Amino acid sequence: MKAEPSSFKNSKETMHKHIEKTKLDKKLQAVFGPHAYSEGPLATSGTGRRYVGVKLSTPLNSDQVEFLVDSLSHFQILCISGQNFESFSLAHFERFANHWGAPIPHPSNVRRRGENVEWKPFKDRNVSAVNATFPDQLQCLPHTSPTVFVASNMSGPRKEGEPVSVSPGGDWHVDIECERLPIYVSMFLVHKVPESRDAPGGTWIEAPNDIEKFGSLQENPDEELMRLRSQLPLDGGTAYADTEAAFAALPESEQEVLERTRVHRRLNWKDEGWLAPLVRTNPRSGLKSLHSPIWNSRPAIKPPVLVEGMNAGESRAFLDRLEKHVLQPRFRYDHTHTPGDVTIWDNYMILHNSPPIKTNIHSIDDARLLYRISCKGEPALTLPRNDVQEWLDQHINGGYVTPKEIIRVDK
């Protein structure tokens, strides 16, 4: 991202991660009206804010967008709660996403035929299985856009006789750090969250008694790292770790070394790859953060990274030590989802992880349904975006551009 002027740089009260709530609310109300207010910090590290009274079903003006973009640059996670499904659709969600970058068709919605890329028909996407699970009780919001990834634990009518099972949490990661232009922002719109709390301890999922079942990096001999990785929400929420606060907490001498460190990233094993900085500076807030300090965040499908000047073993030891630092409880935050929330995070400044989830569910009370869109590139204060087709072809699946009908959804 290139530097753009911040709307708060020249004001007397600069926004920052530990800004007082009253000062933040004053700014929020100046752009969104007197009924808007903030909650937070959401995490003990100071990261995360919830904005209440911010309606995303109407088009945003440039002051409102700039306020939100600046907010994310300081707070790393924003939860804009209370969207009403009577008026807020997935078209509104995609229009909103366009302010943060060019929305990317999710790989699971894309079919490749040689050089050609086409969008999978709706009936072949996992959304159809979701709709068939509790057909009279829950249906996905209508959409056809390939940018909408349906994150759900519903895969069709339940299999008789098969018990409910629990899939373990995932590996700590950022979304698509392994492309030349990584993903900037990802966002969830929350439709349905699990309501049952029948596990011992009153949670949705029982606390793990075997940490090796969590994530796929099972062979790591460092028990403390494994324990930290396995500390995931038991209510279907999303786990985050603040890589800005984690970087800031390191001694200056170590920060200097990390700022000079580059990592060799590759999309696939056969790729030559490229060198990418491990530390990024946010162009608006100036905050420095670690971008995906993980040795191998997708062991089953992607190669591990190499640190410049180190061999494989040294790279792993170097990055495992950083991951252990970042996953300390003081940098962690478990976000509980609520229907109607739009939750946005900056992938350059945050790690995240999926929680353990019940599958083959028998009851609507166990259903979890979220929609995710991810974006690349620069924020846009006004729409439509002005991305050059050559740039889109290079960085966005199929050169996708959100159709005019979605940008003008209310007109």
Q: Give the residues lining the site for Fe ion (CB under 5 A).
A: 175
- Based on the number of CB atoms within 10 Å of its own CB, is 212 exposed (0-12), middle (13-18) or buried (19 or more)? middle
C-beta separation of 396 from 102 below 8 A: yes
Continuous segment of H or E residues that includes residue 239: strand 238-242
Residue with tokens 């060799």: 264
Nearer to Fe ion, 267 or 409 (CB): 267
Give the integer Cα–Cα distance in Å for 2 and 277. Answer: 15
Which of residues 7 and 297 has its CB atom nearest to Fe ion in the complex? 297
Q: Which is nearer to Fe ion, 6 or 297 (CB)?
A: 297
In whole angstroms, how close is the CB of 175 to Fe ion at the nearest point?
5
Q: Is 19 exposed, middle or buried (0-12, 13-18, 19+ CB in 10 A)?
A: buried
Torsions phi, psi of 235, nearest 5? Answer: -115, 15
The distance of closest approach from Cβ of residue 238 to Fe ion in the complex, given in angstroms and rounded to an integer, is 9
CB of 281 to Fe ion, least distance (A): 23
Cα gap 356→205, rounded to integer Å: 7
Smaller CB distance to Fe ion: residue 299 or 384?
A: 299
CB of residue 353 vs Fe ion: minimum separation in angstroms?
8
The nearest distance, CB 260 to Fe ion, in angstroms, is 28
Cα 27 to chain center, whole Å? 25
Closer residue to Fe ion in complex, CB, 7/238: 238
Closer of 67 and 295 to Fe ion (Cβ): 295
Q: Minimum distance from CB of 173 to Fe ion (Å)?
A: 6
Buried b (16+ CB within 10 A) or exposed e, 44-66: ebbbbbbbebbbbbebbeeebbb
